[in-house]
Structure 1
Amino acid sequence: MIRKIYMGLFVGAMALTMGCEQEFLETVPTNAISEETAYSTPDNIDLVLNGLHRMMYGQNQLTGGSSSRSGESHFIPMLDAVGGSIIHSSPGNGWMTADLQWQSHISSNATTGFNLWFQRYHFVTVSSAIINKVAGSDFPVTPQLNNILGQAHAYRAWSYLRLVTTFSKGYLIGNPATDPGVPLLLQEGVPYEGGPRGTVQEVYDQMYIDIDKAIAYLGEASPAADKSHLSLNAAYGIKARIALSRGDWMVAAENAALARNDYPLLDEAGWLSGFNTVDLSEVIWGGRVIDTQTNFYQSYFYYVAFAFNGSQNRGNPKLISKELYDRLPVTDYRTKGWLPLAPNTNPSASNDQGGSAETDPNYTSQDAFIAARDAIRAEYGATSGHNTHPYMNVKFKQKNPGTIDPDDVIYMRSAEMVLIEAEARAMLADVSGAQDALAILGNKRDSAFDKSVFSTKELLMEEIKWQRRVELWGEGFSYHDNIRWDEGLDQSNSGAASVLYQDGFMQAKPSVNDDWIFKIPQQEIDANPFISESDQN
């Protein structure tokens, strides 16, 4: 692992983030406390965990990293850019253009890949420190201590899932027993020299150990204080994701069902409310953004919300694939999450149809073109500088549109768990079980949904894939879904412009195309004596 691992804890009235280098602990600033103090009591360790909760979405200041990649606020939309789900309508201000063009993740010097590796290994190291410090302590076993250990093991399992499924070949399309995974680092302490790449199988084995321990601890723990904390349900959800990516279908189905228990699916009003708060009934795990800790122009909503008042959105509203949207039946209220007939108002739109009714094939009158634009701006709270575009997203809405105010970041919803259960049961050839699971979501979203239509494994999987792409649009799943399903990219009928997308317009499937694997950061190869250029993906 990159040598600089940071164990200090910035504190004010409460812990906000992690930040001090271990080698500088003797000269920490007055607003930091030492590692020894940070792990000296369960209450202090809770503050360490609070730092991780904030770092999940926040504009962190890990020395040696780039604050321009703010955790899941950045990585969720980035993974959908690489995975081809979030369609960009123009270059905008350039954010994520290299990702959607398949230039960034195949470069060992790219900032995005470095930060994903760097930040997730920070979570691994802090989690390991908590686990090991508690093991070496004489703390009494209490519900609070079980909560601490459960969250630490869950964070480590989740972090390794993020790492191994991104920087290694997919479990289902490779040979996990021999394919190189990522370094397994379970100890903390100087000199942080890193380690060799374990196999994909070894990493998965450790993830199962960690998530099973998390579930055991959290089952005897005090309840999660907030949805930003890892709860027992969230741990079941992480296990379901691990199992799904490995093809452990029954484990995936069972844990997905456990994860969604007590998190009812949204109704129409809830689904159309904007996905801007973790208080929605479906949200199992998410970042409750604290106003003083917001990212502003690095926030999740900066990348995905139409009316966010930033240059990324004003000129570049994000689109759903035309081919995907056009399959939505009129009886499905999710049709209201995107605007297929929004006027193409940006003269710089990449499809060369923007600017006026003369170039937009959906309009023959400039008056109607302008009226439609103004009506959308008014309804969704956009400013006069916001452009519109056919198939633009209004699924994500700010609580205070037209501003840069913060909104929450959702990591896990019960709808995802329903779809995991449906997919797993379909892969088990349990047709009736998969139909029943799929109907839980289908009946909620579409008044005319009929599960009996999907009478074979093949028909079920086609529907489940489509449902995931619609339901979870913009939530960061498409890249890993494509790897699991061994499906390439073909944006020919999506509405994406080949001149903008370049190499990201079409890519062969992952089993024959190693460009789906992120490059290991060059900084890691240079710093880790156990990894050389020959270990590069």
Structure 2
Amino acid sequence: MLRNIKYTLLAIAAFTITSCDDDFLETKPTDAISSSDAFATAENMALILNGLHRGLYSQSQTILPGGNTARAGEHYWVPMGDALGGGIIHSANANNLGWRTTAQWLDHTDQTSLTNEILWYHRYNIIASANAIINKATDGSIPEDARLKEIIGQAYTYRAYAYLSLVQHYAKGYLIGSPATDPGVPLLFSSDAPYTSAPRSTVQEIYDQMRLDVDTAISYFEGATSRPTGSAAGKSQLNIDVAYGLKARIALNSGDWRTAADAAIAARANYPLMGESDWKSGFNTTTLPEVIWGSNVIGTETTFFRSYFYLMCNTFNGSQNRNNPKIGDKRLVDAIPDTDYRKDVFLIDAPNTNTSASNGEGGWANNTNPLYTTEAEFDAAEVFYRDQYGWTSAHNEHPYMHVKMLQQNPGTIDPDDIIYMRSSEMYLIEAEAEAMLNNVTGAQDALRTLGESRDSAYDPTVYATQEALMDHIKFQRGVELWGEGFLYTDKIRWDDGIDHAANGGSGASEVLYQAGFQQDRPSINNSWIFKIPQAEIDANPNLSQADQN
């Protein structure tokens, strides 16, 4: 099918065995691992899964022919959701890794862009590897014990995860289109080269396959060995809670509200909400109590200047951060009540020390903050924030800059873990689903648990209609999940456009943001749909130029 899918064993399993299992490496060179060896036992298939786990955050050239060091999996894809949706605001011009181009909406609308191509092939590599496990592990040749069931459950979950990503980016949103006829993405069931796919299936067919996959995963997990607990590495493995969380996402984005609410409740059961100290600790480890799933980024395989924290963490010691502190949308931040401790991670009064700031107000000579009446006070504030959060003297500061994501070792180039799923998200999924069912009390109850843990004066009963609830849920998702990658798909589900100028402005510069400064709502604007890579259209006999979005 796809010219950029590597043979599963050589790309994923061999990579994993090289780094994880020296004994296996000693018995056979990694470039000679056979399919029969890799799939001979459940434990060998677990090595392939470990390759998928690491492939989520590795630089793409390690898993894709033609891959590029500028894209390191979820390090890029997670913050991309907030960059495209307009939640992460660039305070100055910086284009490392094409990050500015992404925010300007010049990247995903180009069929030859690196982002479009690598995201597509990354997801299909996951699918091909999952297929290889599923096809072998369910053919009856290996006894189906609890360990094998765990592996099969993870493979089905990965396949559903990859299809959800593909259909949310390369097809029109389920709730704003005609899913029975809208073109989705190709289904791939092959586990061997040349990976021949079907033509583009409909959006509905892709959602049907995802539902089948995630339900199958849950059924296998119910009889499987448990995921290891108590470590960041353990939470990189998928388990029944991840599968329920993914089921909740699939249902939410397709309007299956009851399923969404119920699955979200199941997913979060074992993950208590964080308290204030944990919430403010930097979101840099998957060991936080409410993290359901995330990548434990291993230091020896780090991506350094390709990491999630490089792209958006203001303590990271890279030019992207030193020159361009990331800020929150001023309209969102200003709306957070003072009784809500989440407001504290946005430094509203940080001095604007960047003379290259896009708002033209950088440096003491352009200061507009009445808190600072002298240059000495301005300079003292700069030092205060630097000392408190640990960035270097070379880092610029900017009003509304965030400190939600903080490195464990601030001022370094350490990448830290990537969080994919938290129990907070599940409360918000439940609340949205109940609101859409017009169950006002049910939605209020879900919001109460989360809101009271964040805001000492929280009262959800003031949101007494479906419309009021949905407006508030959008706000809560914006605050709670800021920077965690959900805004792009949220806006598609809600059919909300982007307007950085509205209601006093977000703080973004129209000159800097270009097309990303304002976009009509997704139902009438196909620019929200990623272009299919031209390389795929050229290589896949089941796709033609007529299939291009």
Give the TM-score of the pair, scaled to structure 2: 0.94
SS of residue in 1 equivalent to 2:411: coil
1:139 aligns with 2:139: no
Equivalent pair of 1:344/1:360 in contact (CA under 8 Å) = no
Q: How far off its partner does 1:357 sit?
A: 4.4
Q: How does 1:323-402 map to 2 (within 5 A)?
A: 323-362=331-370, 363-402=372-411
Equivalent pair of 2:16/2:48 in contact (CA under 8 Å) = no
| Partner AA of 2:195 in structure 1 | Y
Q: How does 1:64-213 map to 2 (within 5 A)?
A: 64-95=66-97, 96-213=99-216
Superposed CA deviations along residues 79-112 of structure 1, whole A, max 9, x for unmatched, are: 2111111111112244411111010000000101
Q: How far off its partner does 1:13 sit?
A: 8.6
Equivalent pair of 2:358/2:512 in contact (CA under 8 Å) = yes
Superposed CA deviations along residues 138-171 of structure 1, whole A, max 9, x for unmatched, are: 2111110100000000000000000001100000
Superposed CA deviations along residues 170-225 of structure 1, whole A, max 9, x for unmatched, are: 00000000000000001222322333100000000000010000011111111113
1:451 aligns with 2:460: yes
| Partner AA of 1:421 in structure 2 | E
Equivalent pair of 1:150/1:214 in contact (CA under 8 Å) = yes
Query: 2:413 is matched with which residue: 404, 409, 412?
Result: 404
Equivalent pair of 2:428/2:473 in contact (CA under 8 Å) = yes
Distance 1:30 1:203 in 2: 35
1:283 aligns with 2:283: no
What RMSD in Å do the two structures reach over aligned CA positions?
1.5
SS of residue in 1 equivalent to 2:335: coil
Query: 1:306 is matched with which residue: 314, 317, 326?
Result: 314
Q: How does 1:52-63 map to 2 (within 5 A)?
A: 52-60=52-60, 61-62=62-63, 63=65
| Partner AA of 1:47 in structure 2 | L
Structure 1 match to 2:23: none
Structure 2 match to 1:533: 545
Distance 2:469 2:32 in 1: 54
Distance 2:165 2:483 in 1: 17
Change in Cα spacing, 1:34 to 1:495, as seen in structure 2 (3 Å) is same
Equivalent pair of 1:342/1:392 in contact (CA under 8 Å) = yes
| Partner AA of 1:168 in structure 2 | A
Structure 1 match to 2:25: none
Change in Cα spacing, 1:87 to 1:94, as seen in structure 2 (3 Å) is same
Structure 1 match to 2:486: 477
Distance 1:513 1:162 in 2: 20
Distance 2:547 2:345 in 1: 44
Distance 1:12 1:191 in 2: 21
Equivalent pair of 2:95/2:320 in contact (CA under 8 Å) = yes
Structure 2 match to 1:23: none
Q: How far off its partner does 1:454 sit?
A: 0.7
Equivalent pair of 2:13/2:47 in contact (CA under 8 Å) = no
Q: How far off its partner does 1:36 sit?
A: 2.7
Bigger helix fraction = 2
Question: What is the number of equivalent residue pairs in this alignment?
Answer: 527
| Partner AA of 2:460 in structure 1 | K
Distance 1:504 1:143 in 2: 49
Q: Which moves more between the two structures, 191-200 or 206-215?
A: 191-200
Q: Which moves more between the two structures, 53-62 or 298-307?
A: 53-62
Distance 1:355 1:406 in 2: 30
Equivalent pair of 1:16/1:50 in contact (CA under 8 Å) = no
Equivalent pair of 2:218/2:244 in contact (CA under 8 Å) = yes
Structure 2 match to 1:20: none
Distance 2:474 2:36 in 1: 48
Q: How does 1:7-86 map to 2 (within 5 A)?
A: 7=8, 8=10, 9=12, 11=14, 14=17, 16=19, 30=30, 33-60=33-60, 61-62=62-63, 63-86=65-88
Structure 2 match to 1:238: 246
Equivalent pair of 1:306/1:394 in contact (CA under 8 Å) = yes
Equivalent pair of 2:273/2:290 in contact (CA under 8 Å) = yes
Distance 2:522 2:185 in 1: 18
Equivalent pair of 1:253/1:421 in contact (CA under 8 Å) = yes
| Partner AA of 1:197 in structure 2 | R
Distance 2:46 2:212 in 1: 22
Superposed CA deviations along residues 17-52 of structure 1, whole A, max 9, x for unmatched, are: 9xxxxxxxxxx9646623332112111000000000
Superposed CA deviations along residues 471-524 of structure 1, whole A, max 9, x for unmatched, are: 000000000000000000011111111111111011000000000000000110
Q: How far off its partner does 1:10 sit?
A: 5.2
Distance 2:273 2:544 in 1: 48
| Partner AA of 1:410 in structure 2 | I
Equivalent pair of 1:163/1:182 in contact (CA under 8 Å) = yes
SS of residue in 2 equivalent to 1:326: helix
Structure 2 match to 1:25: none
Superposed CA deviations along residues 272-316 of structure 1, whole A, max 9, x for unmatched, are: 000000000010000011111111111111112111111110111
Equivalent pair of 1:303/1:312 in contact (CA under 8 Å) = yes
Structure 1 match to 2:5: 5
Structure 1 match to 2:268: 260
Change in Cα spacing, 1:13 to 1:147, as seen in structure 2 (3 Å) is closer
Structure 2 match to 1:221: 224
Equivalent pair of 1:322/1:391 in contact (CA under 8 Å) = yes
Q: Which moves more between the two structures, 7-16 or 408-417?
A: 7-16
SS of residue in 1 equivalent to 2:438: coil
Equivalent pair of 1:157/1:207 in contact (CA under 8 Å) = yes
Structure 2 gaps, min length 5:
21-27, 229-233
Change in Cα spacing, 1:32 to 1:458, as seen in structure 2 (3 Å) is farther
Change in Cα spacing, 1:219 to 1:357, as seen in structure 2 (3 Å) is farther
Equivalent pair of 1:357/1:369 in contact (CA under 8 Å) = no
Equivalent pair of 1:10/1:31 in contact (CA under 8 Å) = no
